[in-house]
Structure 1
Amino acid sequence: MRRSFLLIVLIITAFQVSAQNYRLYGNITDTDGKPVSFASVYIRNSTYGSTANEDGDYEFKLKPGTYTVVYRSVGYLEHLEKITITNHNEQHNIRLGNEPFALQAEAGSGNEADPGADIIRKVIAKREGYLNQVPGYSCAVYVKGVQRLVSAPKKLLEHGVAKALQIDTTGKGILYQSESISQYNFENPDKVREFMTSSKTAGQNTAFSYNKASDLQVNFYKNSFNIQGLSARAFVSPFADNALNFYDYKLLGTSIKSGRRIDKIQVIPKHEHQAVYQGNVYVIDGDWRIYSVDLFLTKKSNDINFVDTLQITQQYIPITDTVWLPIATRFNFQGDVFGFKFKGYYLAIYNNYNLNPQFKKDFFNGEVLRVESQANQSKNSYWVSNRPVPLTDLESSDYKRKDSLGAIQNTPRYLDSVNKAQNYFFTLSNLIYGYQYYNRHTRESFYTYPFYQTLFYNTVEGYGINLKVNYIKGFDNGQSFSLSPAIRYGFSNKKFSANIGGTYTYDPAHQGVFMGRFGSDILDLNNVGTRTLVFNTLSSLLSENNYVKLYRTRFGIAGWQRELANGVLLNTTLSYADRQQLYNTSFNHIKDFPDKHYTANNPLAAPPTVESPLFPTNQALTFKASVTFTLRQQYITRPDGKYYEPSVFPKIRLNYRKGIDGILGSDVNYDFGSVDVFADRLKVGLVGYSAFKVTAGTFFNHRSLYFMDYNHFLGNQGTTFNPTIGNFHFLDFYDYSTDRSFLEAHYEHNFAGNLLSKVPYLRRLKLEEVIGVNYLTQAQHSNYSGVTNNALIQGVKSNYSEFYIGVQRFIFRIDYGFAFEGSRRITQGFRIFYGLR
Structure 2
Amino acid sequence: MTFIFLTGTITFAQQYFPLRGYVYSTDNEPLQNASVRVFDLQTGTQTNEAGQYELSLEQGLHRISVSYLGFLPQTIEIVIDSSTIYNFFLEPDEKVLSEVVVNVKKKDYSYEVIKNVIENKERWQNQFQTLAAKTYVKSVEEIISLKPQKEDEKEENKNPFMADSLPNMNFFEANIQHFQSLPNKQKEERTGVKKFGDIHDLYYTSTTDGQFDLYQNLQVVEKLGENALISPFSTVGYLGYKFKLLETYHNGERLVYRIQVKPKELGNSLYEGEVEVLDGLWAIHKVKLSVPKRLLIEYNSFSFEQEYEFVQDKRVVTKEMFEWKLKGGGETKNGRTEVSHSDFVFDSTYAKNFFGPEVGVTTAEAYKRDSSYWENIRPKPLNSTERAVVKAKELEEIRLNSKEYLDSVDAIYNKVTPLKVLWSGVGHINRAKKVDWRFGSLPELLNPVAIGGWRVQYRIQYMKRFENRKRIDVTPYLNYGFLNKDLRGFINFNFLYNPIRQSSIFASAGQGFDVINGNATISDIIRRNNFYINTGLNLSHRTELFNGFYFNTQLQWNKREDFGDFKFSRLGDELFEQNEPVSFPTTKIFKTNFRIEFTPGQKYLREPNEKIVLGSRWPTFSLRSNFGFNSDNGLKKAFNYTEFNVSQYFNVGIFGTSEYRMALGKFMDTTRLAPMDYQYQRGGDPIWFSPNMYTYQLIPQTFSTFDWFFESHYEHQFNGFLTSKVPLLNKTGIRTVGGAGLLYVPERKYQYSELYAGANRVFRLGKSRFRLGAYYVVSQSNKDGIRSGFKFSLEPYNRDKNTWSF
TM range (shorter): 0.7 to 0.9
Would you say the 8 A contact 2:211–2:219 is kept in 1?
Answer: no
Cα separation, partners in 2 of 1:716 and 1:516, compared to 1, 3 Å:
farther
Q: Corresponding residue for 2:550?
A: 569
Cα separation, partners in 2 of 1:105 and 1:386, compared to 1, 3 Å:
closer
Would you say the 8 A contact 2:506–2:540 is kept in 1?
Answer: yes
**SS of residue matched to 1:562:** strand
Shift in Å at residue 174 of structure 1?
5.3
The amino acid across from 1:711 in the alignment is: Q
Hey, which of these two has a bigger chunk of strand by percent?
2
CA–CA separation in structure 2 for the residues paired with 1:827 and 1:585: 40
Cα separation, partners in 2 of 1:578 and 1:430, compared to 1, 3 Å:
same
Shift in Å at residue 598 of structure 1?
3.2
Q: Corresponding residue for 2:760?
A: 807
Task: Select 1:263's aligned residue among 241, 257, 269.
Answer: 257
Shift in Å at residue 363 of structure 1?
1.8
**SS of residue matched to 1:833:** strand
Task: Select 2:105's aligned residue among 108, 111, 114.
Answer: 108
Task: Select 1:346's aligned residue among 311, 320, 337.
Answer: 337
After TM superposition, the structure 1 = structure 2 runs for residues 52-201 of structure 1, keeping only pairs within 5 Å, are 103-104=100-101, 108=105, 110=107, 114-128=108-122, 130-148=124-142, 155-156=148-149, 159-160=152-153, 164=157, 173=167, 175-201=169-195
CA–CA separation in structure 1 for the residues paired with 2:540 and 2:733: 44
Task: Select 1:586's aligned residue among 560, 568, 582.
Answer: 568
Aligned length: 691
CA–CA separation in structure 2 for the residues paired with 1:330 and 1:229: 16
The amino acid across from 1:315 in the alignment is: E
307-316 or 428-437: bigger deviation? 428-437
CA–CA separation in structure 2 for the residues paired with 1:479 and 1:471: 14
Shift in Å at residue 138 of structure 1?
1.5
After TM superposition, the structure 1 = structure 2 runs for residues 333-732 of structure 1, keeping only pairs within 5 Å, are 333-334=324-325, 343-421=334-412, 438-447=429-438, 455=447, 457=449, 461-464=452-455, 467-492=458-483, 495-526=486-517, 528-530=518-520, 546=527, 549-582=530-563, 585-586=567-568, 588-589=570-571, 592=574, 597-602=577-582, 613=583, 615-660=584-629, 665-666=634-635, 668-679=637-648, 681-713=649-681, 717=685, 719=687, 723=691, 725-729=693-697, 731=699
Cα separation, partners in 2 of 1:631 and 1:816, compared to 1, 3 Å:
same
CA–CA separation in structure 1 for the residues paired with 2:516 and 2:433: 40
**SS of residue matched to 1:240:** coil
The amino acid across from 1:564 in the alignment is: L
Would you say the 8 A contact 1:473–1:482 is kept in 2?
Answer: yes
Cα separation, partners in 2 of 1:290 and 1:419, compared to 1, 3 Å:
farther
Shift in Å at residue 559 of structure 1?
2.0
Shift in Å at residue 367 of structure 1?
1.9
Shift in Å at residue 772 of structure 1?
3.0
| TM-score, scaled to structure 2 | 0.77
**SS of residue matched to 1:123:** helix
CA–CA separation in structure 2 for the residues paired with 1:245 and 1:448: 64
Would you say the 8 A contact 2:265–2:725 is kept in 1?
Answer: no
Shift in Å at residue 670 of structure 1?
2.5
Would you say the 8 A contact 2:227–2:652 is kept in 1?
Answer: no
**SS of residue matched to 1:671:** strand
The yes-or-no answer on 1:292 pairing with 2:286 is: yes
Q: Corresponding residue for 1:279?
A: 273
**SS of residue matched to 2:618:** coil
Cα separation, partners in 2 of 1:170 and 1:764, compared to 1, 3 Å:
farther
Q: Corresponding residue for 1:754?
A: 721
Cα separation, partners in 2 of 1:820 and 1:343, compared to 1, 3 Å:
closer
Shift in Å at residue 802 of structure 1?
6.1
The higher radius of gyration belongs to 2
Q: Corresponding residue for 1:38?
A: none
Instruction: Report percent identity of matched pairs.
Output: 23
After TM superposition, the structure 1 = structure 2 runs for residues 209-248 of structure 1, keeping only pairs within 5 Å, are 209-215=203-209, 217-248=211-242
Would you say the 8 A contact 1:619–1:667 is kept in 2?
Answer: no
Q: Corresponding residue for 2:794?
A: 833
**SS of residue matched to 2:570:** coil
Would you say the 8 A contact 2:743–2:751 is kept in 1?
Answer: no
**SS of residue matched to 1:597:** coil
**SS of residue matched to 1:799:** strand
The amino acid across from 2:791 in the alignment is: F
The amino acid across from 1:712 in the alignment is: Y
Would you say the 8 A contact 2:661–2:713 is kept in 1?
Answer: yes
The amino acid across from 1:576 in the alignment is: W
Would you say the 8 A contact 2:128–2:347 is kept in 1?
Answer: no
Would you say the 8 A contact 1:571–1:627 is kept in 2?
Answer: yes
The amino acid across from 1:686 in the alignment is: I
Shift in Å at residue 330 of structure 1?
0.8
**SS of residue matched to 2:449:** strand
**SS of residue matched to 1:811:** strand
Would you say the 8 A contact 1:108–1:250 is kept in 2?
Answer: no
CA–CA separation in structure 2 for the residues paired with 1:157 and 1:227: 40
CA–CA separation in structure 2 for the residues paired with 1:454 and 1:361: 62
Q: Corresponding residue for 1:739?
A: 706
Gaps of 5+ in 1: 1-100, 603-612, 782-795
CA–CA separation in structure 2 for the residues paired with 1:267 and 1:313: 14
Shift in Å at residue 499 of structure 1?
2.2
Shift in Å at residue 238 of structure 1?
0.8
Would you say the 8 A contact 1:283–1:290 is kept in 2?
Answer: yes
Would you say the 8 A contact 1:366–1:632 is kept in 2?
Answer: yes
| TM-score, scaled to structure 1 | 0.74
Shift in Å at residue 813 of structure 1?
2.7
Q: Corresponding residue for 2:7?
A: none
Would you say the 8 A contact 2:513–2:531 is kept in 1?
Answer: yes
